[in-house]
Amino acid sequence: MSLELKKRFQKILYTLRHKKAFLKVEKQLRGKNTWRGYFHDADKPFLYMALWIKLDDIQKIHRKNNKHHVRNDLAKTRDDLIDTIIDWESARITKPDKPLNAYETLLKFYPDKKDDFLPLIREFLPEQIKEACLREKCRFRIEKLRFANETTKHICFMQKLLPYNFNNLNTGR
Delimit the domains of the chain by residue range: 3-138
141 has pLDDT over 90: no
CA atoms within 13 A on the CB side of 163: 2
Asked if 16 and 45 touch (Cβ cutoff 8 Å), the reply is yes
* pLDDT of 153 over the 70 cut: no
pTM of this structure: 0.75
Q: How confident is the model at residue 143 (pLDDT cuts 50, 70, 90)?
A: very low
- Do the Cβ atoms of 147 and 171 come closer than 8 Å? yes
Each residue's pLDDT tens digit, 38-92: 999 999 999 999 999 999 999 999 999 999 999 999 999 999 999 999 999 999 9
Residues ≥6 apart with Cβ < 8 Å to 125: 29, 85, 89, 101, 102, 103
Q: How far apart are CA 57 and CA 10, in angstroms?
A: 16
For the stretch 3-45, pLDDT in tens is 899 999 999 999 999 999 999 999 999 999 999 999 999 999 9
Query: What's the pLDDT band for 152 if we cut at 50, 70, 90?
Result: very low
At a CB cut-off of 8 Å and minimum separation 6, what does 114 contact? Answer: 106, 107
At position 38, the amino acid (one-letter code) is: Y
